[in-house]
A and B are shown apart, each in its own frame.
Chain A
């Protein structure tokens, strides 16, 4: 456990009351000549003097937390905090605020603890933000006796907690017609007789595929796309920047898609574009991948020009889902798409 050894003291606004009371008494004394006001003035000054000179005994308190090592954003973590008075004198009553990255703060009141006495608090803390935290911080605030002085002391103690992102289902798989099922088998673009969908005609499309009824209805050339049933392999890239709006949502969607594919037994290749370049996620268990999602801090935007070679080395040719902040994808995908001849880039739509 680390932190400042001694508390910092600060006068509270209530500390103004005894001197002001003494001043009032002196004024009354001066006006009335009644010595009893002198008695009260002296007493008020003494209260001020004694109230501000005492020390809060909170530096002997030690903290230890007990909880699960992993939690998911949006869930509550069962949390137990043990407070022990390791000093030789009774501790002062103190308000303790426990801060942990990603968890909701919790405020506790620890009454006076006799030497070696301990207090245990059992609570549930909501996970608010994904991440990996190695330390917890407790802020202790004690107002001595009459509350004229506030003593503040911070302590940091080690703990390991991984907060997984809240998993979200992508709105739909862009490679498929409609959402992919739990089996991981879906209809994708292909050459089978199965209808995949309709879209606007693009140069190079076979004229035989023009769907004339839709063309007549819409007033522009519409072509039919054929599909085929296939087991999809997930290849997904997360790009940043991490501080942009919607990044966490995109990460949650990407993590959700990845997790579903892993649960379906599909081959999964996931990577993030970190400041050092493209980094692949571990290929072990689901937990390893979820931990990897939690550990992502700095995620960058790849340069569209040099992107293809790095992506080919990691993913090979074919379909690649790209997740990221909507504002980045709006700009980056049109720029990267034409320069990636061997990759078909698809945007991961944010789902519920």
Chain B
């Protein structure tokens, strides 16, 4: 069996595997796949069944018609989709594009086989087969390799082996075509190397698939409907693995991002009485989605009217002007220090009323803010209860569906034996303090990973946000309702006042004990610090470990791109130059003109002797042309060009070749004129 025959068979296998991949992936119906496979088989046999120049033309015409018909069919299939079919989203787009592309691709495969007379055409078959595989894989759901076997996976394995075998055979066919004499030797020689390449590449591919983390892929901003997320057109910066900025607003604005990192500013924000409790609450957040804590939204912001002329505002739900003031356990004077920072109303417990020379607004996220016309007031008095009461809602016990089950398993293991909510809180607080370390620059979870799960099982390090969130989620996992509270803690005493700076922003947990009673729980207090102030080597190591994929990726990219770009530019320049100087039509015209001239010269007795060179012919013409050459210089120049083309091998510009061809044509015409005795001589 010759190499070309083996090559045809291997390309047929590769094409069949590519087509089957499309079928298994659902881009093509299996009936269509079977028909395409049969057509490929028939087309591969066509050059053998219909040999000859005329048959080749017929086969080519058939191939063109086939591709055109398949393209029209694909377009019709796409356009004739039933109305109402969901074409939105990535899945719809992929299905649409797959249908539009896969049918013509398979048609091209069949068409190429129909007229595959050379290894070049078989190479095209290979490329198209590879495209089929890519299309199938690109639209495949990501799943374990075992899940895809024996469908897409087996086709992929067979197709890949066939592609490599075809490339191997292509090399041999190419080498044999370059030689005038061929000794085929042992046909299977080198097969071991091919086997090693196939096996090695499959193992490497599987290893890469199994070991290298898979990215989430790029989605255009707003594609998933969440237009509020910031991000560049090329990459969403707030996706997993990317740390957002951290500032006091992220604690007090009614929304907390567990992936935010960075130092808080030391700006002095607010002062409170020195003898007040160490926790001052600002916002209460109940909704957790795996990354963000947020308050339950309600429609629009509400301006709370004062209940008296002194500016007292009753914060109890449903309170109306003239209502009896709430009974508060304590009253504290709060002074705002940073005029440009918008802070919510803070209180050392449950805020009941605020006395302020301005307005109090309950925002959409339930956060209370103070506003004034024209200037915001610089202080207010807040009346509050340190004992928090109120009903718990279903929202306070909800967990995201994406939360891994191991979080719940861990919670149940920790709270085994604890019956009451207070006992469960104590167990979880103790567990967190014992097993986790405090670190402000803790690792950011990978894109798409649950932040609490990542803290509990991956990074084991975090700060107040992670500790509070972990306790809240663990408690919710065992049926205890919780909320996250953001505000300030500790502060710095200055005489009778305590100053809260940006660095004092804090998050803790509000736990429902039943009977409309809530208590604060701060799991961060008493947590041991993670080894801090790492050495420069540790910092480098941490940066490398966090970004090694990017570093290695860029290094590899540069390593590959730079030389190959250089090579590509050089190659394209060389090809362009070659095309310019070696214009085949010009060469052909020149040689045709020279042949015509030689025939004409024989007619007037100036035949070139077999051994004489072109320059000798040129001299002979100059001496012996009847009546003298009309343009000796042009003739000599044309002969020089012919000599270079025929014997020298030096590239000749296309325009020079065409000029020389024109001169020789004119000379041949002149030689054929009866005045020079052409007709007589020929008789």
Contact = CB atoms under 8 A, between A and B. Distances in A.
Contact of B564 (A19, A31, A146): A19
B557 interface: yes
B22 to A, nearest CB: 14
B142 interface: yes
Given A93-B172, A145-B190, A123 B181 contact: yes
Interface stretch (A39-47, A188-196, A209-217, A310-318): A39-47
Contacts of A145: 168, 171, 190, 193-194, 197
A2 interface: no
A26 B212 CA distance: 12
Given A38-B212, A109-B181, A352 B609 contact: yes
Given A37-B138, A38-B214, A352-B609, A111 B183 contact: yes
B575 to A, nearest CB: 11
A23 interface: yes
Contact of A90 (B189, B209, B216, B218): B189
A43 B184 contact: no
Interface string B157-196: 0001000100110111011101111111111111001101
B196 A23 contact: no
B626 interface: no
B183 A109 contact: yes
Contact of B138 (A13, A28, A42, A121): A28
A198 interface: no
Given A23-B557, A110-B185, A114-B189, A147 B201 contact: no
A271 interface: no
A46 B204 contact: yes
B201 A50 contact: yes
A107 B215 contact: no
Given A38-B212, A145-B197, A93 B138 contact: no
Nearest to B196: A50
A29 B215 contact: yes
Nearest to A73: B611
Contacts of B611: 74, 166, 168, 249, 252, 352
B317 interface: no
B561 interface: yes
Contacts of A19: 560, 564
Contacts of A120: 183
Contacts of A34: 137-138, 140, 142, 214, 217
Contact of A108 (B168, B179, B557, B612): B179
A39 B206 contact: yes
A144 to B, nearest CB: 7
A34 to B, nearest CB: 6
Contact of B189 (A40, A111, A143): A111
User: Which of B183, B188, B567 is most buried by chain A, counting CB atoms within 10 A of its CB?
Assistant: B183
A20 interface: yes
A31 B205 contact: no
B146 interface: no
B209 A39 contact: yes
Given A40-B137, A46-B200, A50-B200, A92 B190 contact: yes
Interface string A15-37: 01001101100101111111111
A189 B487 CA distance: 133
A93 B217 contact: no
Contacts of A32: 138, 217-218
A95 B175 contact: yes
Nearest to B559: A19
A95 B164 contact: no
Given A33-B214, A112-B185, A143-B171, A93 B140 contact: no
Contacts of B168: 145-146
B39 interface: no
Nearest to B3: A111
Nearest to A107: B179
A32 B215 CA distance: 8
Nearest to A51: B197
Given A34-B142, A43-B204, A146 B189 contact: no
A288 interface: no
Given A34-B217, A36-B140, A90-B189, A23 B197 contact: no
B214 A43 contact: no
Contacts of A333: none
A91 interface: yes
B538 to A, nearest CB: 30
A118 to B, nearest CB: 9
Contacts of A51: 197
Instruction: Bin chain A's interface residue count.
Output: 35 or more
Max chain B CB contacts within 10 Å: which of A34, A119, A120? A34
A350 to B, nearest CB: 8
Given A90-B190, A106-B181, A109-B176, A37 B561 contact: no
Contacts of A45: 204, 208
Interface in A134-155: 143-147
A54 interface: yes
A29 B213 CA distance: 11
Given A145-B168, A145-B193, A146-B168, A108 B181 contact: yes
B598 to A, nearest CB: 16
Contacts of B49: none
A121 B140 CA distance: 53
A16 to B, nearest CB: 5
Nearest to B188: A112
A41 B207 CA distance: 11
Interface in B284-305: none
Chain B CB within 10 A, most for which of A28, A41, A47: A47
B568 interface: yes
B202 A43 contact: yes
A111 B178 contact: no
B160 A43 contact: yes
A43 B190 CA distance: 20
Contacts of B179: 95-96, 107-109
A36 B197 CA distance: 19
Contacts of B133: 40
Contacts of B167: 146-147
A266 to B, nearest CB: 24
Contacts of B200: 46-47, 49-50
A106 B181 CA distance: 8
A245 interface: yes
- Among A40, A51, A96, chain B packs the most CB atoms within 10 A around the CB of A40
A143 B184 CA distance: 15
Contacts of B216: 33
B609 A42 contact: no
B585 interface: no
B77 interface: no
A330 interface: no
A16 B189 contact: no
A310 B202 CA distance: 81
Nearest to B152: A36
Given A93-B185, A143-B175, A146-B197, A36 B560 contact: no
A106 B178 CA distance: 11
Interface of A: 13, 16, 19-20, 22-23, 26, 28-47, 49-51, 54, 74, 83, 90-93, 95-96, 106-114, 117, 119-121, 123, 143-147, 166, 168, 245-246, 249, 252, 352
17 contacts: A23-B557, A38-B208, A42-B204, A46-B197, A46-B204, A50-B197, A50-B200, A93-B190, A109-B176, A109-B181, A111-B183, A113-B186, A114-B186, A146-B167, A146-B197, A147-B174, A168-B611
Given A16-B564, A30-B217, 19 more contacts: A13-B567, A23-B557, A33-B217, A34-B137, A36-B142, A36-B209, A38-B208, A38-B209, A46-B197, A46-B200, A93-B189, A111-B183, A113-B185, A119-B183, A123-B181, A144-B193, A146-B197, A147-B171, A166-B611
Q: Which 3 A-B pairs have the closest CB atoms?
A: A112-B189, A33-B217, A111-B185
